[in-house]
């Protein structure tokens, strides 16, 4: 984590107001949350739509803060810790992270994409750890505050940092890329996720390509070569930086071929640039693409294939993404962090590949952000569910009810249920779950389907 004197901090954020007696006071890390702040940290109060972090300065001090940045437009409080005045605390934490990143010799890899960026981050970080001291984005800290916090949490001697970059609108990835100044940029794909806010697939592609705006001149761009739109978009940029493509098509620099899947993960063939059989300890055929991106970058960073395989065998996963949970006599595939048509179809394909379960159940929530055709998109999922592989379908939410309506037409028995209450859904689930069942739980983040996961983890089905 960042360790600097307050005088250094003031210079890095271009602030003012620090009394000279505090110039040499050392801060050890930063926090924007008084609930999790630690001793000797710098408190950076953020002003949001419904809160003002400046109101909690006393809590910050009580919990260990020894200094704070302070928006000069806010009333100055009577407190016993030094304050550094800035024009805007959000811009200040961003500037602080940028300056800190530039002071380190760390190689930064930025990862963005409509789907797969978190899994790619996890795979790549695991691989790099076999050879380098590696830091990665924690959880989903991938926005205008998350990326600065990720950078500021790096130790001074970090050799590699894998930084996830998310977005909701045009300009966000450009900001994040300029803060992180990546040596390597990865674009996992560009699909119609976020179409509600960006309006078109063209704008989505434009947003993803913004990651190259902060890419170092001697850097590398790795991207999914299977996507014609992405290939064309990259070609139009006329980049001077080196480019590498990955995917299943033969024109890619790194070409992979799926072999098989089991409860331990997936096996695939790396057919280009060399012939290797590799195993990834993550569920889902789609993770082969994420692995190919990670492999391409790892090789560029001089990681051997032996180290790559070692890293892919012990991945520290970000929670609620294809997370296999062993409950009492049955399993839960917890993919509750988000849902869109592409990621949902990938999750369904994973369920179809499982062969050692006596019962398979879907719990599907609304997919938000799918545009004006949202009803039809949900209906299509219901129409395409493989009834020979799935025993029961449960949905929750108004949009997801359209999945249920179409699925009911395919099942001869009453095996499709729709709910608006998670409590009622869980009660019905407990009535049908058998031993050696697997339950996929997936929906958009705002539905909080992890509550369903938590309710089932302590449940023990009767012998049936």
Name the strand (E) or helix (H) holding 432: helix 422-432
DSSP one-letter code for 249:
S
Q: Which CATH class is domain 104-312?
A: alpha beta
C-beta of residue 130 within 8 angstroms of C-beta of residue 307: yes
Where along the chain do the CATH 3.40.1190.10 domains lie?
A: 104-312
List 260's β-bridge partners, or say none. 267
| pLDDT at res. 464 | 53
Task: State the residue for tokens 């505050």.
Answer: 145
Where along the chain do the CATH 3.90.190.20 domains lie?
A: 323-457
Length of the chain in residues, anyone?
A: 464
| pLDDT at res. 85 | 98
CA distance 348 to 352: 6
| pLDDT at res. 319 | 67
Fold category of 323-457 in CATH: 3.90.190
Where along the chain do the CATH 3.40.1390.10 domains lie?
A: 3-87
Q: Where are the alpha helices (DSSP H) in 116-227?
A: 117-128, 146-152, 172-180, 195-198, 201-209
Give one DSSP letter per residue of 306-351, joined into a string: HHHHHHHTS--PPTTSSEEEE-SSSEEEEETT---HHHHHHHHHHH
CA distance 116 to 120: 6
| pLDDT at res. 194 | 56
CATH number of 3-87: 3.40.1390.10
DSSP one-letter code for 443:
-
Specify the long-range contacts of residues 31-37, CB closer than 8 Å, at least 24 apart. Answer: 31/60, 31/65, 32/93, 32/145, 32/149, 34/59, 34/60, 34/63, 34/65, 35/59, 35/63, 37/63, 37/64, 37/65
Note down pLDDT in tens along the chain; length 464 residues.
999 999 999 999 999 999 999 999 999 999 999 999 999 999 999 998 889 999 999 999 999 999 999 999 999 999 999 999 999 999 999 999 999 999 999 999 999 998 899 999 999 999 999 999 999 999 889 999 999 999 999 999 999 999 999 998 899 999 999 999 999 999 999 886 656 667 788 888 999 999 999 999 999 999 999 999 999 999 999 999 999 999 999 999 999 999 998 878 999 999 999 999 999 999 888 899 999 999 999 999 999 999 999 999 999 878 667 788 999 999 999 998 888 888 899 899 999 989 889 999 999 999 988 878 899 999 999 999 999 999 999 999 999 999 999 999 999 889 999 999 999 999 999 999 999 999 999 998 889 999 999 999 989 887 65
């Amino acid at each position: 984590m960042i360790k600097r004197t307050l005088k250094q901090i003031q210079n890095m954020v271009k602030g003012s107001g620090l009394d000279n007696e505090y110039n040499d006071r050392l801060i050890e890390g930063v926090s924007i949350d008084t609930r999790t702040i630690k001793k000797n940290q710098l408190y950076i109060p953020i002003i949001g739509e419904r809160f003002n972090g400046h109101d909690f300065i006393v809590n910050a001090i009580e919990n260990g803060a020894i200094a704070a940045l302070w928006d000069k437009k806010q009333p100055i409080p009577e407190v016993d810790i030094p304050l550094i005045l800035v024009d805007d605390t959000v811009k200040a934490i961003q500037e602080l992270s940028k300056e800190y990143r530039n002071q380190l010799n760390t190689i930064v890899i930025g990862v963005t994409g409509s789907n797969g960026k978190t899994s790619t981050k996890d795979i790549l970080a695991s691989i790099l750890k076999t050879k380098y001291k590696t830091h990665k984005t924690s959880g989903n800290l991938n926005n205008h505050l998350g990326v600065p916090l990720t950078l500021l949490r790096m130790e001074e001697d970090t050799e590699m940092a894998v930084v996830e970059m998310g977005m909701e609108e045009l300009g966000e990835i450009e900001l994040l890329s300029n803060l992180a100044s990546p040596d390597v940029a990865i674009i996992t794909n560009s699909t119609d996720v976020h179409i509600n806010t960006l309006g078109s697939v063209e704008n989505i592609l434009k947003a993803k390509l913004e990651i190259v705006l902060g890419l170092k001149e001697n850097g590398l761009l790795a991207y999914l070569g299977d996507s014609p739109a992405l290939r064309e978009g990259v070609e139009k940029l006329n980049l001077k930086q080196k480019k590498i493509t990955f995917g299943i098509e033969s024109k890619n620099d790194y070409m992979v071929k799926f072999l098989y899947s089991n409860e331990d993960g997936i096996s695939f063939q790396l057919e280009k640039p060399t012939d290797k059989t590799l195993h990834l300890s993550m569920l889902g055929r789609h993770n082969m693409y994420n692995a190919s991106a990670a492999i391409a970058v790892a090789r560029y960073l001089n990681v051997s294939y032996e180290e790559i395989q070692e890293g892919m065998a012990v991945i520290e996963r970000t929670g609620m993404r294809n997370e296999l949970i062993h409950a009492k006599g049955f399993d839960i595939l917890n993919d509750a962090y988000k849902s869109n048509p592409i990621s949902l179809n990938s999750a369904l394909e994973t369920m179809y590949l499982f062969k050692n379960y006596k019962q398979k159940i879907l719990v599907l929530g609304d997919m938000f952000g799918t545009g004006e055709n949202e009803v039809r998109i949900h209906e299509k999922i219901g129409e395409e569910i493989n009834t020979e592989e799935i025993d029961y379908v449960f949905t929750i939410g108004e949009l997801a009810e359209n999945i249920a309506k179409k699925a009911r037409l395919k099942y001869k028995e009453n095996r499709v249920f729709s709910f608006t209450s998670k409590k009622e859904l869980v009660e019905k689930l407990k009535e049908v779950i058998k031993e050696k069942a697997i339950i996929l739980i997936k929906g958009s983040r705002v539905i909080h389907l992890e509550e369903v996961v938590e309710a089932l983890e302590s449940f023990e089905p009767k012998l049936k």
